[in-house]
Chain A
Amino acid sequence: MGLPEYPRGHFGHYSLITKGGYVINKAFGFLIITSIIAAVLTGKISTITADSMSAAAAGVTRVFSLIGILTLWLGVAKIAERSGLLGLFTRLLQPFLSLLFPSIPKGHPAMGSILMNFSANLFGFGSAATPFGLKAMKELQSLNRSERASEAMCTFLAINTSSLTLIPSTIIALRVNAHSANPAEIVGPMILATLVSTFVAVNADFLCRLFYRKRGLL
Chain B
Amino acid sequence: MVIQLINKLSNWFIPIFLLAVFLHGSYKKIPLYDTFIEGAREGFNLAVKLLPYVVGIYVAVSLFENSGAMDILLYPFRPVLKFLGVPEEVIPLMVVRPLSGPAALGITANLIEKYGPDSYIGRLASVIDGSTDTTLYILAVYFASVGVKNPRYSLPVGLTSDIAGFVTALLVCQIIFS
Contact = CB atoms under 8 A, between A and B. Distances in A.
B36 A178 contact: no
B114 to A, nearest CB: 10
Interface string A1-35: 11111110011111111111101100110011011
SS of A interface (majority): helix
Contact of A67 (B47, B53, B55): B47
Interface string B34-75: 011111111110110111011111111111101111001100
Nearest to B13: A187
Nearest to A172: B14
A2 B58 contact: no
B80 interface: no
B106 A62 contact: yes
Given A60-B55, A82-B25, A137-B142, A71 B40 contact: yes
A154 B63 contact: no
B153 to A, nearest CB: 4
Contacts of A52: 59, 62-63
A84 B28 contact: yes
Contacts of A13: 144, 147-149
Given A21-B141, A138-B145, A161-B134, A70 B118 contact: no
Nearest to B50: A63
Contacts of A208: 152-153, 156-157
B91 interface: no
Contacts of B101: 1-4, 126
Interface residues of A, number: 129
Contacts of B116: 178
Contact of A186 (B10, B132, B133, B136): B10
Nearest to A193: B131
A180 B21 contact: no
A28 B66 CA distance: 16
A168 interface: yes
B137 to A, nearest CB: 5
A149 B139 CA distance: 11
Given A75-B39, A197-B161, A17 B63 contact: no
B133 A34 contact: no
B17 to A, nearest CB: 6
A186 B139 CA distance: 27
B112 interface: yes
B68 A42 contact: yes
A178 B52 CA distance: 21
Interface in A87-114: 88
A78 B176 CA distance: 34
A34 B99 contact: no
A89 to B, nearest CB: 10
A2 B102 CA distance: 7
A117 to B, nearest CB: 10
B55 A168 contact: no
Contact of B11 (A4, A35, A182): A182
Interface in A194-218: 194, 196-201, 204-205, 208-209, 211-212, 217-218
9 contacts: A16-B151, A28-B103, A79-B30, A147-B147, A149-B150, A186-B130, A196-B164, A201-B158, A201-B164
Lowest 5 A-B CB distances belong to which pairs? A78-B39, A71-B43, A2-B101, A188-B6, A75-B40
Interface of A: 1-7, 10-21, 23-24, 27-28, 31-32, 34-39, 41-42, 44, 47-48, 51-52, 54-56, 58-60, 62-64, 66-68, 70-85, 88, 123, 126-127, 133-134, 137-138, 140-141, 144, 146-149, 153-154, 157-158, 160-163, 165-168, 170-172, 174-175, 178-194, 196-201, 204-205, 208-209, 211-212, 217-218
